[in-house]
A = this chain, B = another copy of it.
Amino acid sequence: MASHPKPTALIRSLPATVPFVGPESQERQRGRPFKARIGANESVFGPSPKVIKAMAAAAPDMWKYCDPESFELRTALAQHLGVAANNLVIGEGIDGLLGMIVRLFVSENTPVVTSLGAYPTFNYHVAGFGGRLVTVAYRNDHEDLDGLAAAVRLENAPLVYLSNPDNPMGTWWNGDAIAAFADSLPEETMLVLDEAYGETAPRGALMPLLPLRGNVLRLRTFSKVYGLAGLRCGYAIGVAETIAVFERIRSHFGVNRMAQVAAITALEDSDYLLQAIDKIADARTAIAEIGLRNGLEPVESATNFVALDCGTAERSGEIMKALIDAGIFVRRPGVPVLDRCVRISAGTPQDLALFETALAAAVSR
Q: Chain A residues in contact with chain B, CB under 8 A?
A: 1-11, 14-22, 24-25, 28, 37, 40, 42-47, 51-52, 55-56, 59-69, 71, 92-93, 95-96, 99, 103-107, 110, 121, 128, 158-159, 187-190, 213-215, 223, 227-232, 239, 241-242, 244-245, 247-249, 251-254, 256-259, 262
Contact = CB atoms under 8 A, between A and B. Distances in A.
A66 B251 contact: no
Give the most central of A5, A28, A46, A188: most B CB within 10 Å.
A5
12 contacts: A4-B241, A5-B105, A8-B104, A22-B69, A25-B71, A46-B60, A47-B60, A47-B62, A55-B55, A55-B62, A64-B230, A92-B254
B1 A213 contact: yes
B215 A7 contact: no
A58 B239 CA distance: 37
Contact of A5 (B19, B190, B231): B190
Q: Is the interface of A mostly helix, strand, loop or mixed?
A: loop
A223 B254 CA distance: 12
Given A24-B71, A256-B256, A43 B63 contact: yes
Contact of A252 (B20, B239, B252): B20
Nearest 4 CB-CB pairings of A with B: A230-B257, A56-B56, A5-B190, A55-B59
B15 A248 contact: yes
Given A43-B63, A63-B229, A8 B107 contact: yes
A42 B65 CA distance: 7
Contacts of A16: 244-245, 247-248
A4 B62 contact: no
A214 B22 contact: no
Given A22-B69, A24-B71, A59-B55, A7 B230 contact: no
A107 to B, nearest CB: 5
Given A5-B214, A56-B59, A62-B227, 7 more contacts: A3-B187, A11-B248, A47-B60, A55-B258, A92-B256, A231-B257, A258-B258
Nearest to A128: B249
Contacts of A24: 67-69, 71
A166 to B, nearest CB: 20
